[in-house]
Chain A
Amino acid sequence: MDIPTETPASSSSSSDGKEERYLVLIEFAYRHLDFQIAEIESVLDMHGIQLGSPDCRVYPLPGQDETGRTTPASSNPELRRPYLILSFPAKDASKLSDNSNSVDRWGLVTRATNENASIAEILSRCTLVKTIVELWGASTSSLDTCAKECGEWIKNTKVGQSIFANVAGEQESWKLTVHTLGTKYTREEQAEMRDKFSYLGFQGPVQMKEPNHEYVLIREVEMDGKGSPLHPRHGIDKNVIPEHDKLPPLGLYFGRLLGGKSKKGRGGLEQYNLKNRVYLGPTSMDAELSFVMTNYGQVQKGSVVFDPFVGTGSILLSCALRGAYCMGSDIDIRVLKGRNKEETIWKNFDQYHLRRPELLRTDNAIYHRHFRRHQPLYDAIVCDPPYGIRAGARKTGSRKDTPRPILEEHRHDHIAQTKPYPVSDVMSDLLDVAARTLVMSGRLVYVIPSFHEFDPHTDLPRHECLKLVHSCYQPLQAELGRRIVVMKKIKDYDFSKRDHYMSNIWVNGTESAEKCANLRDKILEAAKQKPDYERKAAVRRQKRKVLKEEKKAAKKKKKKRLGEDNDEVEETQS
């Protein structure tokens, strides 16, 4: 998050000659906290909006100082809050707030060319965005201040005046919902909160089902990093904990709902859940994350996407759902062919009525030998390279130094040996292929595991033609996490400089690459360091043994029973 935050111009409702801004509050799903800003930035960029430029700045949340730290209400200065306020020039307000177009709630297939896209349409693409709210007023202290701010915004700003005139008329039905982030308030308490805003004076009728406008009042509390409040209002015994109840909220927000995903089923993501796929492998990427990756890659209708480590095609599937033309290759023919006729990558695509991707078996290490030297073709390369944690990397080649020549008569059904493919080479080949084949500004998105000793500043591979755009960290265990890295092509590939490119990929030589290699062993090593490892391992071993014996016994029993059945049959026959 190195996007400069806007200096708060006294408040959004300032009328002291300063430029008016239009504020939009974004509420994120409380997952993948590090991925949210990058996703928004990529999606805005697709629509030609630069986050951080005067056209769209980040506005500090209530209680945040210029550096983006939350003081002093929170005990944790590094606190990640699932909210973001974007500030736009007031002249764009009418365009951005237009929610008359029915927005595809999931925003799967959108094209960036729509110049008049509202902010709800733009952000509906973001997987991690939950709700989008036109912010009328915000406060840290009390509902009264928040309500007062809203009143001032409506009265004193031109934006507020014109919007309020449009939405609060007699014809406009409305409702007000209270969001309290996992904290329970009774009906009466909620009504009391609502009453504070009644003075704003909405003329239209209240309507619970499909009103013209929905207003939301959000009470933000500190979260524990896992999705529940850090200081829950109610104890396990369902009684209010007074000292927790007294804590001030982190922020209070009031505004008009512009768009967002329905609360249930993660906004329609459920239908793309891995569980519903016909064909799966151990390294299939989960649907939510692969959708985030498609946004990082700015995959849209008509994009051409390539995945050199296609596996079971889970990442390409998300790209295809966004309307891309997909191509995938893998060195392992088994995954490409699938388990049987019914369980293949193609069946996964058929399931969602998508165009089948082109699949071919190639070795990414010798991409330039498989493909003719062609003009840049791909808009994005999105992949999850093999790192040897779940699936090892291999390339063609003999394990011996001097390969045995293949006899002519064996040539046809000879299966080429593959040998382990060091992670450092996997990465440098990947970057090289990306630099060659991406169109200008095309994006390379890949996943890289990140052990505690991994330093993103020095250890990430780099290439002169590719610029690092994002590197987002997702913790998995105490010491292990993974990063999604996004790079953008900024320079034409010069074939004469290939050696120079290849030798400069790792800043610290292959030492960096080794940090993400052999992780399987390292994880095991780390586990061994933990106290009590021996005892726990023994327990696990014992369990496995018992399980194995049970299975054996069951098999024996079954065999025996079958044998008896046969005997019976014979008896009756005789």
Chain B
Amino acid sequence: MRNNTKEADGKGFPLRITAVEVRVVDNPDATNVGQREIDFVKNMLPVLDWPALVQAASQLGIPTLPPQLTEQLAQDPAFLQALYHILMNVHLVKGMLTCPASGREFPVTDGIVNMMLEEEECERVRV
């Protein structure tokens, strides 16, 4: 599961995740995460909404993320490796994303999030 699933529409953010099936890819290169992956995560850090990520991870059964992102952690290769693993190798296969504000639900099937809105909802957001 990646950034996009956490990034939700307008007022309702972050989406609450109800996981039915989670697939963790045992990436063969999980142990030897290279400099490239670390660089990638570093570039991603400013884009991430940290509290939202912590919440999302715990809803997926990963309670190990620290509540605060400190400068020191952001430089720690071991931490960045672990973060890379969470960002890139944990996939939500089946479940539901729920908007905290309106309770609107978006189903996830076969690893694909369906973010489609109804016609009338659509007309509302367009204006």
Interface residues of A (CB under 8 A from B): 301-302, 325, 327, 331, 333, 336-337, 346, 355, 358-363, 365-366, 369-372, 374-375, 377, 395-398, 403, 405-406, 411, 414, 416-417
Contacts and interface: CB of A to CB of B under 8 A. Distances in A.
A366 B40 contact: no
Given A360-B4, A403-B120, A405-B120, A336 B36 contact: no
Interface in B14-38: 36
B116 A406 contact: no
A258 to B, nearest CB: 28
Contacts, number: 96
Contacts of B5: 360
B119 A302 contact: no
B117 A406 contact: no
B58 interface: no
Contacts of A375: 46-47
B123 A403 contact: yes
Interface string B45-73: 01101000000000000000000000000
Given A369-B125, A416-B122, A361 B40 contact: no
Nearest first, the 6 closest Cβ-Cβ pairs linking A and B are A372-B7, A398-B119, A403-B119, A360-B113, A369-B9, A396-B122
Given A398-B119, A406-B120, A416-B118, A359 B111 contact: yes
B90 interface: no
A359 B108 CA distance: 11
B76 interface: no
Given A361-B114, A374-B3, A403-B119, 5 more contacts: A333-B112, A336-B112, A359-B112, A366-B125, A397-B122
Given A366-B126, A370-B9, A372-B7, A414 B118 contact: yes
Contact of A396 (B36, B40, B119): B119
A363 B118 CA distance: 11
A416 B119 contact: yes
Contacts of A403: 119-120, 123
B49 A302 contact: no
Contacts of B9: 369-372
Given A337-B110, A369-B10, A371-B7, A361 B47 contact: no
B74 interface: no
Given A372-B8, A396-B122, A397-B123, A416 B47 contact: no
B54 to A, nearest CB: 16
Interface string B84-127: 00001000000000000000000001111111111110110110
B116 A416 contact: yes
A396 B116 contact: yes
Contacts of A331: 116
A337 B46 CA distance: 32
Contact of B115 (A327, A337, A360, A398): A360
Contact of B40 (A302, A346, A372, A405): A302
A325 B40 CA distance: 10
Contacts of B7: 370-372, 374
Contacts of B114: 333, 360-361
A331 B13 CA distance: 22
A371 B4 contact: yes
B110 to A, nearest CB: 6
B14 to A, nearest CB: 8
8 contacts: A336-B112, A346-B111, A363-B115, A370-B9, A371-B8, A374-B7, A397-B123, A416-B116
A375 B48 CA distance: 9
Nearest to A363: B116
A372 B115 contact: no
Nearest to A398: B119
Nearest to A396: B122
A556 to B, nearest CB: 39
Contacts of A395: 122
A362 B113 CA distance: 8
A406 B10 CA distance: 22
Given A396-B119, A416-B119, A327 B4 contact: yes
B32 to A, nearest CB: 15
Nearest to A325: B40
A366 B118 CA distance: 12
B51 to A, nearest CB: 13
Contacts of B46: 375
A362 B115 contact: yes
A398 B116 contact: no
B49 A406 contact: no
B4 A358 contact: yes
A411 B9 CA distance: 19
A360 B112 contact: yes
